[in-house]
Amino acid sequence: MYKDFQKFWDKKWNNVGLIENNNFSLKVTKFINEKWLKLIDIWAWNGRDSLYFASLWFSVDSFDFSINALNNLSNISKEKWLNINTILWNTIDFDFKIDCYDIVYACNSLHYFSKEDTIKICKKIKKSLKKWWYIFVRVKSIDDTDFWKWEKLWENFYKNGDDIKHYFTLDFIKELFFDFEILEIQELQDIHNKIEGTTSINWFIDLVARKR
């Protein structure tokens, strides 16, 4: 399932230009005003948020499983004279370094896995965060307009061709980060900047938490 999904996204990211950073990325500066912090952008796509963070003088690792997305990011970062380290790997198999990052940023990157795999991935990325530092997570909500429209595989998990999506509840994301200090959690509608250059309005759950 995930192998076909990777091919699906790699094809979509072929020759895609710069996409405007997400509104969610602005939340990082609401909580953090320091420079030179080490940040990992999980599923960075072609760097729409990584580029923004690098411009704020963060040390950025951009993580994605699409070589086309990361090649696009490398080209754009060179044009903008921004130093970004890219990591090509899949989230399930990658061994995240323990106590490595000041900021873990996961915008629209954790809602593509089964419940069991999501729990495993979250355990790994939580360990990669330094104590007392921050994680920022945005995922699709079960209140999203696309919920129920696709072929149901498991509870809250749907398939549309090669695309798959796990829609979250507030209870589930709280369960994932029960051992963190939750600083902010909310369900909201926001603009989603799409690969095709269009936008949509979707329902998300945003979480900001600190490792204890």
Residues 84-117 have pLDDT tens digits of 999 999 888 899 999 999 999 999 999 889 899 9
Calculate what percentage of the chain has a pLDDT beyond 70.
Answer: 92
Q: Which pLDDT does position 4 carry in this prediction?
A: 64
Q: What band does 191 get if pLDDT is binned at 50, 70 and 90?
A: confident
Q: Which pLDDT does position 171 carry in this prediction?
A: 97
Q: Which pLDDT does position 126 carry in this prediction?
A: 98
User: Of 191 and 98, which is predicted with more confidence?
Assistant: 98
Q: Which pLDDT does position 178 carry in this prediction?
A: 97
What is the distance between the alpha carbons of residues 111 and 185, in angstroms, rounded to a whole number? Answer: 16
- Beta-strand runs (E) in the chain: 38-42, 59-64, 84-88, 101-107, 129-140, 151-154, 157-160, 163-166, 180-193, 199-211
For the segment 143-171, the average pLDDT, to the nearest whole number, is 86
- What are the residues whose beta carbons fall under 8 Å from the beta carbon of 196, sequence distance 6 or more? none
Asked if 43 contacts 9 with a C-beta cutoff of 8 angstroms, the reply is: no
Q: How many residues does the chain have?
A: 212
What is the distance between the alpha carbons of residues 141 and 3, in angstroms, rounded to a whole number? Answer: 24
- What sign for the dihedral angle of Cα 84, 118, 139, 181? negative
For the segment 30-36, the average pLDDT, to the nearest whole number, is 93
At the topology level of CATH, where does 2-211 sit?
Answer: Rossmann fold (3.40.50)
Classify strands 84-88 and 101-107 as parallel, antiparallel or unpaired: unpaired
Asked if 30 contacts 52 with a C-beta cutoff of 8 angstroms, the reply is: no
DSSP state of 168: B
Parse the chain into domains and list their residue ranges. Answer: 2-211
Asked if 25 contacts 204 with a C-beta cutoff of 8 angstroms, the reply is: no
pLDDT averaged over every residue in the chain: 90
What is the distance between the alpha carbons of residues 46 and 69, in angstroms, rounded to a whole number? Answer: 5
Asked if 182 contacts 174 with a C-beta cutoff of 8 angstroms, the reply is: yes
Res 190 pLDDT > 90 = yes
- What are the residues whose beta carbons fall under 8 Å from the beta carbon of 131, sequence distance 6 or more? 99, 211, 212
Residue-wise pLDDT tens digits, 5-16 = 667 766 766 766
Residue-wise pLDDT tens digits, 52-94 = 999 999 999 999 988 888 988 999 999 999 999 999 998 888 9
Return the residue matching tokens 């500066």: 29
Res 147 pLDDT > 60 = yes
Q: Which pLDDT does position 3 carry in this prediction?
A: 56
